[in-house]
Amino acid sequence: MKRLIAWAAAAALICAMPLCISGYYVNLLTEVAIYAVLAMTIDLLAGYAGRTPLGHGALFGIGAYFAGYTVAVRQGGVLEAVLLGIGAAMAVSLLFALLAIRTSGVSFLLLTLAQGMIVWGVCVRWTSVTGAENGIRGIARPAPVADPIRFYYLAVLVASLAAWALWRFVNSPFGLTLRGIRESETRMRTLGYNVPLHLTIGFVVSGTFAGLAGTLYAFFNTFVSPTNVALATSVKGLLMAIIGGVGTLFGSFVGAAVVILLENFVSVFTDRWPTVLGMIFVATMLFAREGILGKARLLWARSPRLTHKGDQE
Amino acid sequence: MTASALTFQLLNGATFAALLFVVASGFTLVFGLMRIVNLAHGALYLLGGYLGFTAILATGNFPAALIAAFGATAVLGFLTDYFLLRFVKGNTLSQVLLTLGLALALGDLGLVIWGGDPLTVPVPDLLRGPLRLGALAYPRYRLFVLLVGTLLFVALWLLLNRTRLGALIRAGVDDGEMVDALGIDITRVFRWTFMLGASLAGLGGTLGGAFLTLYPGADGEILVFSLAVVIIGGLGSLTGAAVGSLLVGYLATFGQVLFPELAYFVIFGPMAVLLAFRPMGLFGRAQ
């Protein structure tokens, strides 16, 4: 019951948000919702399958490029754009998965990094289709959600549905199998599980949702450029997942909020956002490997009051 | 393609491969011993190139610039190892992500100091202009890079196989704890190796900066090429780095000539196929 009230309060707060803040912040929150979906897809692999990907920015970008190209260049319908964006990300992630799932740890990270860079290279060089550095401009938002506040509600709705779907996914028997593989691949194989198949499906589900986030982003930003596909996007998504706490799924929302708000806050004072992003990464690795939420929980557990209570027991 | 054009492209492939080897050998050396994938390697390449550029403007002496870039990136490598990597020892993923963060910060630092315009490292008169080889005229500088790459391969091979440090490095690759137990300060061997790896990136930056130009983003590109080299050759193998450099060098050169828009596919397609059959690369060892 208590939990239900907390959820309802959170939902009410999220819905009431646009009424009390300016349009600029509404756009920021929309961005948070979109990136949170990307961070969750990374967390799905990093936290539940034990394989940290560094190429999800590319899958996000593929969704964005396909949707943008369909709407802005081919003058196609919105539904067509969304389906193409998600479908393309799904197809590419299947291809990536087939190559990458045999590796783990650092090899997996490097391989997905290289895969992401190929996609980036294609976006930069294939001028006739992607417009190279100029990107694709003029991606019109569909009329019912053209207004920023309405788009915010759409993004929140999509992000909530994605969160719910991914939550169900990681807590299904299939998700438990993935966690088993994370703990010990050999054990799961001995128990008769088809490890490569499980990992491939996990990767494709993750990539498909990354494509969904990218599609949404294309309509949010109305402009797609190679920056959206670049390593920086993968890095940003991974940082959000790590800050939120790997393996917590919903922590991604916290991570996304921290990174996006910080990015905008820092940009007011300086152009050195990449330096700041890099420093946060280094600091997180040195001091808070379990993420901000995890670290906060640890510090809380270590606080004097609780230790004292522990002594008495 | 005529015979002389073909020879020209063959030489282009070989010289590009030589540059890739200079950069990727440092990368693979560090991984082989310390199991650290240094994603800041590309940033060290770019900073080394920029530092070499500044050094040559200040002194007008090309060898001095090479030494300055080599030394300065060695110092950067030392600082990275001593102040950062030491604290995440043993956690491979943290190490990789830490170097990734460092790469972002260093790349941005380069943009602050040297700006966003492409810079070309000036070469001395001795290496300028073409060298006539029968009917063919080929840039002298690129032949010089080929020479440096070849010499470096020989030097590194001798270092690893014929010296005490090399023996320690090889022993450290096989079983670091055992080397430590034998009374050898393995941490110091690690540190020297890391510095050597970083300085090779810096050397590569100055060498490459004279014919590939230096610009923000060059760090990422060279990193991806190095990754392709070591993924194909096998992480941690010197021979693998040499063979991988040649393969990637030729694929990149001919890919750009034959299919300019799809050059990236030409490099990474074969890499993907190879990985499907040999996930550890050509010369890599199963972990």
B72 vs B195: CA distance, rounded Å: 10
Q: Is the pLDDT of residue B124 over 50?
A: yes
**B216-220: average pLDDT:** 85
Element (H, E) at A146: none
For residue A281, give the chain B residue with the closest CA.
Answer: B101
B91 contacts in chain A (CB < 8 Å): 289
Least confident of A15-24, A71-80, B100-109: A15-24
User: Is B96 close to A106, i.e. CB distance below 8 A?
Assistant: yes
Closest CA to B205 of B145, B117, B130: B145
Q: Is the pLDDT of residue B85 over 60?
A: yes
Q: Is the pLDDT of residue A312 over 70?
A: no
Element (H, E) at B137: strand B136-139
**A165-185: average pLDDT:** 89
Q: Is the pLDDT of residue B287 over 60?
A: no
A104 contacts in chain B (CB < 8 Å): none
Q: Is the pLDDT of residue B246 over 90?
A: yes
B106 vs B227: CA distance, rounded Å: 19
More confident residue, B144 or A129: B144
pLDDT score of B69: 92
**B182-194: average pLDDT:** 88
User: Is B98 close to A107, i.e. CB distance below 8 A?
Assistant: no
pLDDT score of B55: 92
Interface check A107 vs B, CB under 8 A: yes
Which pLDDT tens digit goes with each residue over A96-141?
Answer: 898 888 877 777 888 888 888 888 878 877 777 777 777 777 777 8
Contact residues for B19 (Cβ-Cβ < 8 A; gap 6+): B145, B149, B204, B207, B208, B212
State the smallest CA–CA distance between residue B92 and chain A in angstroms. Answer: 7
A126 vs B238: CA distance, rounded Å: 35
For residue A102, give the chain B residue with the closest CA.
Answer: B279
Q: Is the pLDDT of residue B75 over 50?
A: yes
Q: How far is the CA of A183 from the CAs of A49, A187, B91, in angstroms?
A: 9, 9, 16
**Beta pairing partners, B87:** none
Band of residue A313 on the pLDDT scale cut at 50, 70, 90: very low
Which pLDDT tens digit goes with each residue over A295-305?
Answer: 776 777 766 54
**B82-102: average pLDDT:** 85
Q: Is the pLDDT of residue B269 over 80?
A: no
pLDDT score of B281: 78
Domain ranges in chain A are 20-229
B279 contacts in chain A (CB < 8 Å): 102-103, 107
Interface check B286 vs A, CB under 8 A: no
How far from chain centre, in Å, is Cα A148? 21
Band of residue A310 on the pLDDT scale cut at 50, 70, 90: very low
For residue A280, give the chain B residue with the closest CA.
Answer: B101
Least confident of A191-205, B49-63, B168-182, B256-270: B256-270
User: Is B101 close to A103, i.e. CB distance below 8 A?
Assistant: no
Residue A300: CB atoms within 10 A of its CB come to 10
User: Is B102 close to A52, i.e. CB distance below 8 A?
Assistant: no
Average model confidence (pLDDT) across chain A: 84
For residue A289, give the chain B residue with the closest CA.
Answer: B94
B275 contacts in chain A (CB < 8 Å): 99, 102-103, 111
pTM of the model: 0.85
Given the cut 0.95, state whether the ipTM is greater than it: no
User: Is A107 close to B263, i.e. CB distance below 8 A?
Assistant: no
Residue B119: CB atoms within 10 A of its CB come to 17
For residue A275, give the chain B residue with the closest CA.
Answer: B105
Interface check B220 vs A, CB under 8 A: yes
User: Is A110 close to B227, i.e. CB distance below 8 A?
Assistant: yes
Band of residue B90 on the pLDDT scale cut at 50, 70, 90: confident
What residue has token string 């996914």?
Answer: A169
State the smallest CA–CA distance between residue B129 and chain A in angstroms. Answer: 30
B90 contacts in chain A (CB < 8 Å): none
Interface check A132 vs B, CB under 8 A: no
User: Is A278 close to B91, i.e. CB distance below 8 A?
Assistant: no
How far from chain centre, in Å, is Cα A26? 19
For residue B102, give the chain A residue with the closest CA.
Answer: A278
| A71-80, A134-143, A174-183, B231-240: range with highest mean pLDDT | A174-183
B100 contacts in chain A (CB < 8 Å): 54, 235, 278, 281
Least confident of A185-194, B142-151, B168-177, B257-266: B257-266
Quick check: A41 and A90 in contact, CB under 8 A?
Answer: no
Domain ranges in chain B are 3-216
Reported residue count of chain B is 287
Interface check B261 vs A, CB under 8 A: yes
